[in-house]
Amino acid sequence: MPVLTYLDAIRQGIWEEMERDPTVFCLGEDIGIYGGAFKVTDGFIDRFGAERVLDTPIAESAIVGAAFGAALTGMRPVAEFQFMDFIGCAFNQITNMVAKAHYRWGAPAPMVIRGPSGGNVHGGPFHSQNPEMYFVHTPGLKVVCPATAYDAKGLIKAAIRDNNPVIFFEHKYLYRRIKEEVPADDYVVPLGKARVAREGRHLAIITYAAMVHVALEAAEILAREGIEVEVLDLRTLAPLDRDAITASARRTNKLILLHEDVRTGGIAGEIAAIVNEEAFDALDGPIVRITARDTPVPFSPPLEEAFLPQVADVVREARQLHSY
């Protein structure tokens, strides 16, 4: 099997879907001749032409509006934002138009909005955010946050084939840092299904995107101390795999909820409520949240490091929870 980076896996997934289905097309800022800000669509215009790889103005609301209109007529647009921080510019289109189309009159809206999110790249407060929870909160949208190259390819293909609108968050820190073998054959990873990234029996860390790798590194350290940690990778935040979450709680009896998003209103609070409602009797300790701080993302590298959850934070909290 070929070894692909996280970025190349996404690129290959979109390419394969465009080869497979002529209704799939891409649109976004500088995605054509330039090949995209991070080069995800590099070479696409040479293979598929300017009619299927559309350069747009710097106008996120217009990009979503055009994609929505195309989706309503039977196309499957894949819209790129250069940075997901600017998805707020299209908030009305996404939450009031796209998300409600099926509810209002039964119309499918098979479209994907994708782009880079996340920090740890010293991009500052306008190029490092994790805005996923605005859309997890919006009924009618699916929200995807892959952590691995294998999942990134399988999930982007599943997102393109889905008849519902999907917001696809690609963690930019992982783009060229994560590599693994990815099947050359066609495959999809189903939306709404978490995966156990590491088995363990003493406690579980539930997380997603780049924090999966922080959790796995912490689990390696803790294993040398005899603490066996399960790591559950959510993969998608909407729909959320409630069965996998409660199963982790019942297998390990202690939970750490880890995410890069800020604490207030983050997915950790929702997961804690689910466990409280459905698996409270299985808990042998308090649910622990490890998150970013409730501030904008700092530009300064040492401040950003203090802002983001680190491996040392996870190890410290896991030791305390294990001894509870």
Same domain membership, residue 282 and residue 239: yes
Q: At 90, list the tokens.
A: 């299209």
211-223 and 311-322 helices, crossing angle to 10°:
50
**In-domain check, residue 186:** no
Same domain, 81 and 132: yes
Looking at the structure, tell me whether residues 167 and 222 fall in a common domain.
no
Tell whether 160 is covered by a domain: yes
Residue 277: predicted pLDDT:
97
* Same structural domain, 139 and 9: yes
Structural tokens at position 112: 């994907």
Same domain as 41, residue 130: yes
- Chunked in runs of 10, what are the mean pLDDT values of the chain (324 residues)? 96 98 98 96 97 97 98 98 97 97 96 98 96 97 98 98 98 96 95 98 98 98 98 98 98 98 97 97 97 97 97 98 95
Domain co-membership, 199 together with 240: yes
Strand ranges (E), the chain = 3-5, 24-28, 53-55, 76-80, 112-117, 142-144, 166-171, 179-181, 195-198, 203-207, 229-233, 236-238, 255-262, 288-292
CA distance 165 to 208: 20
C-alpha closest to that of 166 among 20, 64, 249, 66: 64
* Among 181, 215, 235, residue at a domain's last position: 181
CA distance 211 to 209: 6
DSSP string, 138-181: STT-EEE---SHHHHHHHHHHHHH-SS-EEEEEEGGGTTT-EEE
> Looking at the structure, do residues 211 and 133 belong to the same domain, yes or no?
no
We report the CATH number of the domain holding residue 311 as 3.40.50.920
Q: What share of the chain is helix, strand, coil (3-state, %, to 5)?
A: 40, 20, 40
188, part of any domain: no
Give the domain range for residue 108: 3-181
- 152 and 33 in a common domain: yes
Does 137 share its domain with 267? no
The question of whether 127 is a catalytic residue gets the answer yes
Residue 189 lies in a domain: no
Q: What is the pLDDT of residue 1?
A: 87
- As for how many domains the chain has, the answer is 2
Residue at 220: amino acid letter: E
Q: Provide the residue type at 14 as one letter.
A: I
CATH number at residue 105: 3.40.50.970
Instruction: List all residues 6 or more positions away from 141 whose beta carbon is below 8 Å from its beta carbon.
Output: 94, 95, 98, 99, 135, 164, 165, 166, 167, 238
Give dist(CA 48, CA 168) in Å, integer. Answer: 22
271 in a structural domain: yes
Nearest to 233 by CA among 136, 319, 155: 155
Same domain, 82 and 108: yes
Indicate whether 187 belongs to any domain.
no
What's the pTM?
A: 0.97
Whether residue 190 lies inside any domain: the answer is no
Task: Answer yes or no: do 283 and 171 share one domain.
Answer: no
Residues 160 and 200 in one domain: no
Cα–Cα distance, 16 to 144 (Å, whole number): 19
* Catalytic residue from among 127, 171, 213, 259: 127
Last residue of a domain, one of 138, 158, 181: 181
